[in-house]
A and B are shown apart, each in its own frame.
Chain A
Amino acid sequence: MMELVHSFGDGAVIAKRNLIKIKRVPEVLVFVLISPIMFVLLFAYVFGSSIDIPGGSYREFLIAGIFAQTVVFGATFTGAGLAEDMQKGIIHRFRSLPMSRSAVIVGRTASDVVYNVLSLAIMAITGLLVGWRIHSGVLDAIGGFALLLLFAYAFSWVMAYVGLLVPSPEVVNNASFIVIFPLTFVANTFVPSDNLPAPLKFFAEWNPVSAVTQAARELFGNIPAGTPQPTAWPLKNPVAYTLVWVVAIVAVFAPLSVARYRRAAQRV
């Protein structure tokens, strides 16, 4: 119990340190945020004109997918940040201090929530500019963003683990694309999954990124009236399915990452 309290306390100290870095070097945000903005423009104006959403507008359909993609991509920021920490001299300091052994990772995933809030805000503004609107109530909308953030938090634990596996921050980006591309593209993010060939459709329906996208669409009121109900269970219960994934991911990757951190620390 004491260990848990210390883990949070020390994690908060580390999170504060990470946030100071974002404040001092805001450039890092610019580069990570540019790609989702490019995606909005690309899909809204280039591909969007040839993708048909029955009874609705593609841009309304698109933005929830972009949100999901943004938080998944954003998780690489966590991995790269940790990989960089492990390379720097400061890690020697942390390891010689009587701090919680999980604090470096707990702090990193916590500070990246702030990063995700910022990036979702920027994406929402971009969305509003290209014609996306929230048609639901305030509570639903807040619920939508909260669910996206929860999913982002969980996914940043996956990338934390990747960040501790690889030898340098540069590798994180490349390594993570192997996971991120299928997850974000073989999904209902950019095109309705009904149009996919059977095996891909099956993957897309059970893909948690599809569920969080579907949940966000529902909560923001971006599903036009008359759209047929999805048949797959995850898409019929997207909020519940997403929450199951959030819990499962953290339950698996938090202990894995902490163990990996201890071992990586022993490498030096």
Chain B
Amino acid sequence: MSHVIEASGLVKRYKDVIALDGLDLSVPAGTVLGLLGPNGAGKTTAVSILTTLLQPDEGSATVAGADVIGTPHLVRQRIGLAGQNAAVDEYLTGFENLEMIGRLYRLGRRRSRERARILLEQLDLIDAADRPVKTYSGGMRRRLDLAGALVAETPVLFLDEPTTGLDPRSRIDLWAIIKSLVAQGTTLLLTTQYLDEADQLADDIVVIDHGRAIASGTPDELKEMVGGERIEVTVRDAGQADLARRTLVRFAVGDIQTDGRAETLLVPITGGAPVLTQALRELDLEGVAIRDVTLRRPTLDDAFLALTGHGAESSAKGRTDSAPARDDGAGRPREASRR
């Protein structure tokens, strides 16, 4: 069978919270699956189960031909993992970190050092190789963490939100690195909150929410479902929202939606800035007072709106923290959605 990652019916519960609710996944060899979802959708829980860090309550999964529950040790030999919480030792240097990881993969001292050197070169960390990780920037730590996942040249990689919290420049650098890896035939499962990231990197995307897959397909298929660009207009007075809607309907290439608040309209369009200019002119002519207007490319939130009828934020309700995803490494993951 050519599916390198195969999961069926994964369920994980934490007391009153269901993190995964019957998730199925399958990733053919040499392809990239993007697992897309908001905070708390169950992405990290899914990765934790597939990488043997967590036992599912129900369901089964195989990775690279090994059963994650029955033979976790075999799975661990065949995977590399880089997560949200850069799993590197801050008192060791970059080189020492990678050498240690190589030794723990049992590559032997020589091979471990060789791999450490090569990866530090590749990930542009060679100048910082002999500095303790404490002195690294966030982007450097992420790159080192990624390098850790690459030490043993395993056939399967898991990257859990590899770019969350990075600045745009570092994100684009990291994308380039990931693309070159995939070009070498690695099978990759990547989680992300960013539609553009999944679009850039993945062959297939599974959108998850409340621990369940709610949509899947190629990036193009998904974008088609979601729609392309959109104008987001906020009117000054909610009473004028209807007038605005009537005015804008001829620019829309799909349904005009509201963003929970009555005064904000989301208008799917094609044609970009010129269409925006014209739309604004029309609104002005009709005497609609505008507080805010933006032209947006689709985001995860749009995708959720299109796929579920509610925004990505609301699926994170019940959690105390809706800041960008961060698993603090202590206690249970924040990926867990209330039912």
Q: In the complex, which residues of chain B have a beta carbon less than 8 angstroms from the beta carbon of A93?
A: 81, 87-88, 101, 148
A17-B88 in contact (CB<8A): no
A90-B332 in contact (CB<8A): no
B295-339 at interface with A (beta carbon < 8 Å): 329-333
Q: Does B293 contact A (CB under 8 A)?
A: no
Q: How far is the CA of A55 from the CA of B100 in the complex (A)?
A: 55
- Cβ proximity bits B88-121 to A, threshold 8 Å, 1 near / 0 not: 1101100010001101111000000000000000
Q: In the complex, which residues of chain B have a beta carbon less than 8 angstroms from the beta carbon of A87?
A: 329-330
Q: Does B216 contact A (CB under 8 A)?
A: no
- Cβ proximity bits B62-95 to A, threshold 8 Å, 1 near / 0 not: 0000000000010011010101011111011000
Q: In the complex, which residues of chain B have a beta carbon less than 8 angstroms from the beta carbon of A17?
A: 89, 92, 96, 100
Q: Does B53 contact A (CB under 8 A)?
A: yes
Q: How far is the CA of A93 from the CA of B88 in the complex (A)?
A: 7
Q: Interface size (A, Cβ < 8 Å)?
A: 28
B53-A97 in contact (CB<8A): no
A97-B101 in contact (CB<8A): yes
A90-B88 in contact (CB<8A): yes
Q: In the complex, which residues of chain B have a beta carbon less than 8 angstroms from the beta carbon of A205?
A: none
Write the nearest CB–CB distance from A100 to chain B, whole angstroms.
Answer: 9
B53-A95 in contact (CB<8A): yes
- Set A88, A89, A96, A265: member contacting B79, Cβ < 8 A: A96
Write the nearest CB–CB distance from B319 to chain A, whole angstroms.
Answer: 17
Q: How far is the CA of A220 from the CA of B12 in the complex (A)?
A: 59
Q: A89-B86, A89-B88 are in contact. Are A268 and B103 (CB under 8 A)?
A: no
Q: How far is the CA of A88 from the CA of B91 in the complex (A)?
A: 12
Q: Nearest B residue to A96 by beta-carbon distance? A: B81
Write the nearest CB–CB distance from B69 to chain A, whole angstroms.
Answer: 12
Q: A20-B92, A97-B76 are in contact. Are A266 and B55 (CB under 8 A)?
A: yes
A245-268 at interface with B (beta carbon < 8 Å): 265-268
Q: In the complex, which residues of chain A have a beta carbon less than 8 angstroms from the beta carbon of B105?
A: 97-99
Q: How far is the CA of A265 from the CA of B48 in the complex (A)?
A: 11
Q: How far is the CA of A89 from the CA of B100 in the complex (A)?
A: 15
Q: Does B243 contact A (CB under 8 A)?
A: no
Q: A17-B100, A92-B329 are in contact. Are A266 and B54 (CB under 8 A)?
A: yes
Write the nearest CB–CB distance from A8 to chain B, whole angstroms.
Answer: 13
B53-A96 in contact (CB<8A): yes
Q: A266-B55, A268-B54 are in contact. Are A88 and B76 (CB under 8 A)?
A: no
Q: In the complex, which residues of chain A have a beta carbon less than 8 angstroms from the beta carbon of B51?
A: 96
Q: Does A60 contact B (CB under 8 A)?
A: no
A89-B132 in contact (CB<8A): no
Q: How far is the CA of A265 from the CA of B103 in the complex (A)?
A: 21
Q: Nearest A residue to B72 by beta-carbon distance? A: A98
Write the nearest CB–CB distance from B79 to chain A, whole angstroms.
Answer: 7
- Cβ proximity bits A14-32 to B, threshold 8 Å, 1 near / 0 not: 0011001100110000000
Q: Does A4 contact B (CB under 8 A)?
A: no
Q: In the complex, which residues of chain A have a beta carbon less than 8 angstroms from the beta carbon of B106?
A: 6, 9, 98-99
Q: Nearest B residue to A20 by beta-carbon distance? A: B92
Q: How far is the CA of A96 from the CA of B82 in the complex (A)?
A: 10
Q: Does A138 contact B (CB under 8 A)?
A: no
A181-219 at interface with B (beta carbon < 8 Å): none
Q: In the complex, which residues of chain B have a beta carbon less than 8 angstroms from the beta carbon of A268?
A: 48, 53-54, 329, 331-333
Write the nearest CB–CB distance from B74 to chain A, whole angstroms.
Answer: 8
Q: In the complex, which residues of chain B have a beta carbon less than 8 angstroms from the beta carbon of A88?
A: 89, 329
Write the nearest CB–CB distance from A113 to chain B, whole angstroms.
Answer: 19
Q: A17-B100, A268-B54 are in contact. Are A98 and B91 (CB under 8 A)?
A: no
- Set A13, A20, A89, A267: member contacting B104, Cβ < 8 A: A13
Q: Does A91 contact B (CB under 8 A)?
A: yes
Q: A21-B91, A92-B83, A93-B148 are in contact. Are A10 and B104 (CB under 8 A)?
A: yes
Q: How far is the CA of A98 from the CA of B80 in the complex (A)?
A: 10
B104-A90 in contact (CB<8A): no
Write the nearest CB–CB distance from B330 to chain A, whole angstroms.
Answer: 5
Write the nearest CB–CB distance from A81 to chain B, whole angstroms.
Answer: 12
Q: Nearest B residue to A10 by beta-carbon distance? A: B104
Q: How far is the CA of A265 from the CA of B52 in the complex (A)?
A: 11
Q: How far is the CA of A88 from the CA of B328 in the complex (A)?
A: 9
Q: In the complex, which residues of chain A have a beta carbon less than 8 angstroms from the beta carbon of B85?
A: 89, 92
- Set A9, A16, A89: member contacting B87, Cβ < 8 A: A89
- For the complex with contacts A97-B105, A98-B106, A268-B332, 16 further pairs of A-B residues with Cβ separation under 8 Å are A6-B106, A10-B104, A20-B91, A20-B92, A21-B91, A92-B53, A92-B81, A93-B87, A93-B88, A94-B104, A95-B52, A95-B53, A96-B51, A97-B76, A268-B329, A268-B331
Could you give 18 example pairs across A and B, Cβ below 8 Å? A10-B104, A13-B100, A13-B104, A16-B100, A20-B91, A25-B91, A87-B329, A87-B330, A89-B86, A89-B87, A90-B87, A93-B101, A95-B53, A98-B77, A98-B105, A266-B54, A267-B331, A268-B332
Q: Which 4 A-B pairs have the closest CB atoms?
A: A93-B87, A89-B85, A98-B76, A99-B104
Name A's B-contacting residues (CB within 8 A): 6, 9-10, 13, 16-17, 20-21, 24-25, 87-99, 103, 265-268
Name B's A-contacting residues (CB within 8 A): 48, 51-55, 73, 76-77, 79, 81, 83, 85-89, 91-92, 96, 100-101, 103-106, 132, 148, 329-333
